[in-house]
A and B are shown apart, each in its own frame.
Chain A
Amino acid sequence: MAGTSCPAIVENRHFPGGKAFPRLIYILLLCSFSLFAGEPSWVIERDTTLTASIEIREDGVCTVKPGVTIRFDGYQRVTIKGVFIAEGTRDKPIWFTCAGRIRGSTDKPCWQGFEIVGNRANAIFRHCRWEGAFRNLIWEARPVFDSCEFVGNHYALYCTKKSAAHIKNCIIYRNRYGIVADFASPLALDNCITENSVGIYLQLSSRLIAGRNTVANNKTDIKSEEAMGGTKDALSSKYLWDLMRQLY
């Protein structure tokens, strides 16, 4: 799984940004959890600043056009329970970040991230870039991340509750955690996971179905917690405590 053949990371390699990036922004004053009531389809064609969290309901469809930047103004999140399609191209990638964040920054998270929730969620991301999110959560879902970049997030991808995300050809760098699998089995292929504090974190009963990934130059490349283990990687008290917190 591990290797050292990640491509050189150049911040302006594919993704436009900084002052040269078009500044066409319109503010959406959206109320959380009511976005798609009676309006099941939404196409984002231009750069957008979101000042409220949004939810794509189970009957909702949201499409983001290539080249669009979505900025989050405030500690917002996108919850996906329906369909979300963000297919950029190599020349016109899609960018998710927060307002005012410098490209490539490793400052504290400034928005909550995506939450792809439930087995009815269907999300496809191609040539997308995430920056500054606390956690991009995949809960029971099977989204596809193809040729995406994750930089400066706390949890770049947090897969849990038997989610089986497909992560391929992605570059995941300078995050606190790269890919976390917590009771999940994401499929990871041809990814470069580098310069993170922890590259891959496999928690209890998780495994990475993987091949030809490059996991190198992280502070800890792979960390795992095994059930009832007796080594330093054993099931941690923090993990047990957090599970208690989910119940009580």
Chain B
Amino acid sequence: MKIWVRHAWCVAAVPLVMSCARREPVTLTVDFTTRDSWVYEFNVSVGGKVAMRDSTAACAHAIHGRLTGIPDTADPSALTVTTGDVVLESSMLDEDEKENMRRLLDNFTISFSLRNGLNDMSDSLKTPLMPAGQWDLYRHFAKMLPVLPEGRVRPGYTWERHAQVPLPTSHGDAVGHLYQSFRFDSLTGRAPDHGRYAHLSWQFSYAIETGHTDTAGLLDEIPHTGSGAGSATVDVDAKSLREAAVEFTIPQDSKSDVFSIEWNEKAWIKIVE
């Protein structure tokens, strides 16, 4: 009996040892050219409330869908994805507006690179972002996707990134500043050189810099800064992005005497094998 118990412990301990945190340096690389196409499932939800004098309105949007991506041979870390199978829920839009968004998002293309960030925002900017609730996936993806570091790095390594996002609004042009501070948290895996996963996390802030065209001054009245946290898992050996998630919050702000706004955003993508 004792022998059997010891044997069982040994058998159980082998995978535990193999899957525990690892410390060797690795290259955090994604190579999308290893497949002809990639499929991810994604979800974005934004909720919050707008309080005005004696009333408060709850606001909520949610979108769920599929991303089908094609690699870019010039940049193996880049993927051009097209949205599909979009399901949209919104408490703020009428049926025609929802249908419009659904149809727009059912075939929307985004290009991003895990080396350089979002590649090309022209898709986003070619159509002004309208107050009919146009859903700009670019900004959600900019917050949600990590940018990977150069060279070989060990768990504990940190790096930063600053990106600027042009924001053409109906009240004038603004710029969004995204500051992300990444950390390589841990490396796990069941066997050497096979199935090792790098777990990343990051803190970030997103701040709005307004222009001078808004003579109504409304852009100055709404909240200008929010912060959040994200995480992602990279398959080091398969060189693929497994999943990523982010949460972003703008706490209830009272810059204006008349209204205050709270904003809570959650987004994630997961690979579909």
Chain A residues within CB distance 8 Å of chain B: 33, 55, 75, 77, 79, 108-109, 112, 115, 117, 134-135, 137, 139, 154-155, 158, 160-162, 176, 182-183, 203-205, 227-228, 230, 234-235, 237-248
Contacts and interface: CB of A to CB of B under 8 A. Distances in A.
B52 A234 contact: yes
A105 to B, nearest CB: 14
Given A154-B96, A182-B131, A247 B169 contact: yes
Contacts of A248: 139, 176, 206, 208, 226, 248, 250, 263, 265
Contacts of B162: none
A162 B222 contact: no
Given A246-B129, A248-B250, 16 more contacts: A108-B96, A112-B100, A135-B100, A137-B130, A228-B258, A237-B59, A238-B92, A240-B50, A241-B92, A242-B92, A242-B131, A242-B133, A243-B131, A243-B219, A247-B208, A247-B219
Interface string B102-145: 01100000000000000000100011111111111001000000
B11 interface: no
Interface in B72-109: 92, 96-97, 99-100, 103-104
Contact of A139 (B53, B128, B133): B128
A235 B259 contact: yes
30 contacts: A33-B126, A75-B104, A108-B99, A109-B96, A109-B99, A115-B128, A135-B132, A137-B130, A160-B130, A161-B168, A227-B216, A228-B257, A230-B53, A237-B55, A240-B50, A240-B52, A241-B48, A241-B261, A242-B131, A242-B132, A245-B134, A245-B135, A245-B136, A246-B129, A246-B167, A246-B170, A247-B174, A247-B176, A248-B208, A248-B250
Nearest to B107: A75
Given A139-B128, A227-B218, A235 B52 contact: yes
A228 B257 CA distance: 9
B107 to A, nearest CB: 9
Contacts of A135: 100, 130, 132
A244 B131 CA distance: 9
Contacts of B242: none
Q: Is the interface of A mostly helix, strand, loop or mixed?
A: mixed
A245 B216 contact: no
A150 to B, nearest CB: 15
Nearest to A240: B50
B172 interface: yes
Contact of A246 (B52, B100, B131): B131
B254 interface: no
A183 B217 CA distance: 11
A154 B211 CA distance: 31
B101 to A, nearest CB: 10
B128 A245 contact: no
Contact of A182 (B99, B170, B258): B170
B103 A75 contact: yes
Contact of B96 (A134, A137, A139): A134
A240 B127 contact: no
A227 B222 CA distance: 13
Q: List the 9 shortest-distance A-B pairs measured between CB atoms, nearest first.
A: A242-B131, A237-B57, A237-B50, A205-B216, A246-B169, A160-B170, A75-B103, A246-B129, A241-B59
A112 B102 CA distance: 12
A204 B216 contact: yes
B119 to A, nearest CB: 15
A79 B171 contact: no
Contacts of B248: 248
Contact of A205 (B129, B215, B223): B215
Contacts of A77: 127
Contact of B213 (A162, A230, A242): A162
Contacts of B171: 161, 183, 243
A161 B214 CA distance: 9
A244 to B, nearest CB: 6
Contacts of B208: 247-248
A245 B52 contact: no
Contacts of A75: 103-104
